[in-house]
Amino acid sequence: MSSEFPSSAVPEVVCVGESMGLVTALGAPLAETETAALGLAGAEGNVAVGLVSAGHRAAWASRLGDDPIGVRISTELSRRGVDLWVTTDADAPTGVMLKDPGIESSSVYYYRRGSAASLMAPGFLDAAQLAGVRIVHTTGITPALSSSCRAMVDQLSVDARAAGALVSFDVNDRRALWTMQDAAQTLARLADAADIAFVGRDEAERIWGTVTPREIRAHLPNCALLVVKDGDVGATAFHGDVEPVFVPAPKVDVVEPVGAGDAFAAGFLAATLEDADLAARLTAGHAAAARVLTTHGDLPPLI
């Protein structure tokens, strides 16, 4: 097992979670196609890439298998300017995801059980390593991977605050990974305790039965800054007791929706680092999401 952990330069944001190899069917569904594209997927890695493209220093922290897919992921994230805080595991593989793309939604199939990232546990990062970091970001995917990952996310929040960083959490429910009961309880607890939380209006209705942004806010009353995304309608930010701020989404010719939520979070967090007001942060999130909506990949092409 080998590690590549922080250099002397401190990133503004550390994103913690799994990235996988991504196989995307081309020209026909997976069951029929003879061609496919090989890339990478992973919410936290996507956010790190988005932050770097917005001009900020970001690190991605995770575990990878000692295999070609792991090398491909680390190489691509490095090529895009992301700092790697990575442990390589010789005994557990890098996860893989297969995708059938669609305009309204994409079908995905995970092969990540027992992956190197699923073995993350408390102590993977600690407060000393996070010194000087401004934001620590993770998602609801990570605690769904394993009990040790769930415990790691809990400890990560404690260590982030001890280091003086804000805790950012994207609900990002993945139905295939855990039961509805586990998801509803754990995601509500983590989102409500976050300094910044992102949630889709549709996923909140699915897991909590909350229909409107205000109902979601009532369900998560303690989150310091709650952002409710409602697809092509727009996004609403709730901050303290002030009147919520709503910014409509721009009109976009959608190629594929996967990755747009991660891009939104990256744009919003980048504007947060720049001390923008709430309306400007929401606008930045929409703009970043729009760029990803016009491509088949989770990440925009390098310019």
Is it the case that residue 105 has pLDDT exceeding 90? no
Give pLDDT tens digits for 12-49: 999 999 999 999 999 999 999 999 999 999 999 999 99
Would you state the structure tokens that stand for residue 117, as one six-digit string? 């990232």
How many residues belong to the chain?
303
| Selection from 123, 96, 100, 120 nearest residue 110 by Cα | 96
pLDDT value for 54: 95
Give pLDDT tens digits for 264-297: 999 999 999 999 999 999 999 999 998 877 665 5
| Selection from 245, 246, 292 nearest residue 267 by Cα | 292
Q: How far apart are alpha carbons 272 and 99 in whole angstroms?
A: 32
Residues whose CB is less than 8 angstroms from the CB of residue 167 and which lie 6 or more positions away in sequence, other chains included: 135, 136, 157, 160, 161, 193, 194, 195, 196
Rg, Å, the chain Cα set: 18
Q: Is pLDDT larger for residue 62 or for residue 256?
A: 62
What torsion, rounded to 10 degrees, do the Cα atoms 160, 162, 165, 171 define? 40
Model pTM?
A: 0.91
**The 96-100 sheet, strands edge to edge:** 36-41, 20-25, 96-100, 107-111
Q: How far apart are alpha carbons 278 and 242 in whole angstroms?
A: 11
Q: How far apart are alpha carbons 133 and 13 in whole angstroms?
A: 6
pLDDT value for 276: 98
Q: How far apart are alpha carbons 159 and 178 in whole angstroms?
A: 26
Q: Is pLDDT larger for residue 76 or for residue 295?
A: 76
Q: Which domains does the chain have, with CATH numbers?
A: 2-117+132-293 (3.40.1190.20)
Give pLDDT tens digits for 118-134: 999 999 998 999 999 99
Name the residue type at position 57. R
- Residues annotated as catalytic (active site), given as ranges: 262
pLDDT value for 5: 55
> On the CB side of 236, how many CA atoms lie within 13 Å of its CA?
15
Cβ atoms 220, 197 nearer than 8 A:
yes
What torsion, rounded to 10 degrees, do the Cα atoms 46, 160, 192, 237 define? -60
Residues 283, 302, 275, 200, CA torsion sign = positive
pLDDT value for 292: 79
